[in-house]
Amino acid sequence: MAVLDAAEAPHIAHRDNHTHRDVNGGWLRPAVFGAMDGLVSNLALITGVAGGSVAPQTIVLTGLAGLAAGAFSMAAGEYTSVASQRELVLAELDIERRELRKHPADEQRELAALYESRGVEPKLAREVARQLSRDPDQALEIHAREELGVDPSDLPSPAVAAVSSFGSFALGALLPLLPYLLGTTVLWPALVVALVGLFACGAVVARVTARSWWFSGLRQLLLGGAAAAVTYLLGIAFGTALG
C-alpha cells in the first residue's frame, strides 16, 4: 500500500471533502417541481369537486380533465418559453459571430479588458486573449460565456423541456386520481396517496436545498394539504349554494 507523505495528505483530504451539491438542480429540480405542481393542482381540483357531493364518476372525469389540461398547458408553456429563450440566444450569438468576423482586433481587446477587470495583469490578459482568439469557434464560445452567460454547445431543447414537463405534471396529477381509478368511491384514499406523494416530493427537493429532508417534506405536505382543505370547503359552499 502506498504511503502518503505529509505534503500530499492535506491535498487529498481537501479533494475528498471539497465537493458541492448541484446548485442548479439539473433535471431533478424541474422534474420534481413539475410533479409537485400536478399533484397539488389536481388534488385541489378533486377535493373541490368532491366537496360538492358529486358522484365518483364525476370526480374521475374532472381529475382526468385536470390532468390532461394541466399537462398540455405546462408542455405548451415550457416549449414556448424555452424556444423563445433559445431563439434570443441564437440571435445574440449571430451578432457576436459577425463582430468576431468583422472586428477581431476589437473583440480581442474587449476580452483582454475583461480579464484585466478580474485582476489579471494587463500583459498576461492580452496574451491570453490573443491565444484564445486564434480559433473562431473557441473565441465565440468564450465571448458567449463571458458576455451572455451561456454555453453555445449546451442550449436547452424546447422539445425536451415540453416532454419532461408534460410527463412530470401528468405523473403528479395522476397520484390523487389513482385510488378512484382503482375503484374507491370516497375521498380519503386519494388524500392519503396525495399527501404521501407531497411529502416524498418535498423530501426529494431537499437534495438541491440546504434544508433537511423531513423539513422540506413536511412543508410541502402542509402547503398541499392547506390548498386541498380550502378547495374542499369552497366545494361544499358552492355545492350548497348551487343545490
With cell 484585466, the residue in question is 116
Which letter does DSSP use for residue 210 in this model? S
Contact 66, 45 (CB under 8 A): yes
With cell 431563439, the residue in question is 87
Residue 93 has pLDDT above 70, yes or no: yes
Share of residues in the chain with pLDDT > 70 (%): 86
Distance (Å, whole) CA 67 – CA 116: 54
Residue type for position 155: L
What grid cell was written down for 48?
373541490
> How confident is residue 98, by pLDDT bands cut at 50, 70 and 90?
very high
pLDDT at res. 4: 53
If you average pLDDT over every residue of the chain, what do you get?
86
Distance (Å, whole) CA 47 – CA 233: 9
pLDDT at res. 123: 94
pLDDT at res. 15: 53
Residue 141 has pLDDT above 70, yes or no: yes
Distance (Å, whole) CA 1 – CA 11: 18
What grid cell was written down for 79?
416549449
Residue 23 has pLDDT above 50, yes or no: no
**Which secondary structure element, helix H or strand E, spans residue 143, and what is its range?**
helix 136-143
Question: CA nearest 219: which of 232, 206, 236, 235?
Answer: 206
Question: What is the reported pTM?
Answer: 0.78
Residue 184 has pLDDT above 80, yes or no: yes
Distance (Å, whole) CA 108 – CA 208: 38
Question: CA nearest 231: which of 6, 15, 47, 40?
Answer: 47
Residue 25 has pLDDT above 70, yes or no: no
119: left (phi over 0), alpha (psi -120 to 50) or beta: left
Could you give phi then psi for residue 35, rounded to 5 degrees? -65, -40
Residue 90 has pLDDT above 50, yes or no: yes
Residue 22 has pLDDT above 50, yes or no: no
